[in-house]
Amino acid sequence: MTHWICGTCSVEYADTPEPPASCPICTDERQYVPPTGQTWTTTKDRAAAGHRTHVEPVGAHEPGLHRVSVQPTVGIGQVSLLVQTEAGNLLWDPTGFVDQDAVDAISALGGLAAIAASHPHMFGVQVEWSHAFGGVPVYVNEADQRWLGRTDEVVRPWSGTHEPMPGVRFVQAGGHFPGSSVAIWAAGAGGRGALLSGDTIAPVTGRGWVTFMRSYPNSIPLSAAAVRRIVDRVEPYDFDRLYGNFGAVVEADAKAAVRRSADRYIGWVSGDFDADT
Ligand SMILES: [Zn+2]
């Protein structure tokens, strides 16, 4: 049997004889089916097409954090983050492809103890990743479990907040999806804390700014109340640096950047600046 992978979002599905008729993640208004239509692939086909994983340190200023990417990119193209802790490693926002290069490189860094995605667009081939590392838990927020195309005994539901290992805490902030989450890594940023934000809170091109959206590809905004709730949910935690799911970083004063950006966003969607339009 073949575990099907959506050609557009690279999320994995069950091992049915024929691929599903459509990908619910891509037909949802937050994603898209390309004009060329729905396609399906498999990890074997992707390997044959030349895709390879790459694992590299984020930098000397951030020991214990690596980026995991696929080149050429697959699906939505997220860059996963590998967080090393004394209690084992977390793979955050797993890519839509895994190979022996990834297994070898990550095993040399201590393997995996947990896998989690910030939201369903980032599920990737999370169950396949888990199986490549002996069946480690894949944490899925309860509010978004219905988006799982591939269920498995390695999936562990959670909600609210959850500590998969000492030093790492998942926080359900909602917004983009009801279960959209962030991970707080206490040892990050030299002990000041790092927020692995997925695109629950998305770094934008201007330095020190982030944004919040229901849909990024289709530019559908969130309400003022939803953005306020996201910020309130992360407010209790210390973090100085913020890592998004496509390699962008707010290097310092990230908590202030989140507050400042939320105030700007809320002002705009509430009409405070309509005189400028
Ligand atoms: Zn899809």
- Ramachandran sector of residue 236 (left: φ over 0; alpha: ψ -120 to 50; beta: rest): alpha
pLDDT for res 205: 81
Distance 123 CA to ligand 1 centre (A): 10
109 near 66, Cβ under 8 Å?
Answer: yes
Contacts of residue 93, Cβ cutoff 8 Å, sequence gap at least 6: 78, 79, 80, 81, 117, 118, 122, 124, 196, 198, 245
CA distances to 9, 13, 97, 185, 237 from 161, in Å: 27, 27, 28, 13, 12
Distance 85 CA to ligand 1 centre (A): 32
Distance 252 CA to ligand 1 centre (A): 34
Residue 249 in 3-state DSSP?
Answer: strand
Distance 91 CA to ligand 1 centre (A): 21
d(CA 253, CA 1) in angstroms, rounded, equals: 49
**Mind listing the pLDDT tens digit of every residue in the chain (277 residues)?**
679 999 999 999 999 999 999 999 999 999 999 999 999 999 999 999 999 999 999 999 999 999 999 999 999 999 999 999 999 999 999 999 999 999 999 999 999 999 999 999 999 999 999 999 999 999 999 999 999 999 999 999 999 999 999 999 999 999 999 999 999 999 999 999 999 999 999 999 878 999 999 999 999 999 999 999 999 999 999 999 999 999 999 999 999 999 999 999 999 999 999 999 9
122 near 93, Cβ under 8 Å?
Answer: yes
pLDDT for res 57: 98
7 near 145, Cβ under 8 Å?
Answer: no
Token pair 């700014």 is at which residue?
A: 209
Distance 33 CA to ligand 1 centre (A): 7
Distance 7 CA to ligand 1 centre (A): 7
160 near 145, Cβ under 8 Å?
Answer: no
The superfamily in CATH containing domain 5-276 is: Ribonuclease Z/Hydroxyacylglutathione hydrolase-like (3.60.15.10)
106 near 135, Cβ under 8 Å?
Answer: no
Distance 25 CA to ligand 1 centre (A): 5
d(CA 202, CA 230) in angstroms, rounded, equals: 12
d(CA 28, CA 242) in angstroms, rounded, equals: 28
Quote the tokens at residue 129. Answer: 């990743």
Contacts of residue 183, Cβ cutoff 8 Å, sequence gap at least 6: 83, 90, 92, 116, 118, 168, 169, 170, 171, 195, 196
> Residues whose CB is under 5 A from ligand 1 (ion)?
6, 8-9, 23, 25-26
pLDDT for res 1: 62
Distance 64 CA to ligand 1 centre (A): 32
Burial grade of 265 (CB within 10 A; 0-12, 13-18, 19 or more): buried
Q: Where are the domains of the chain?
A: 5-276
Distance 174 CA to ligand 1 centre (A): 21
Distance 61 CA to ligand 1 centre (A): 36
d(CA 205, CA 201) in angstroms, rounded, equals: 13
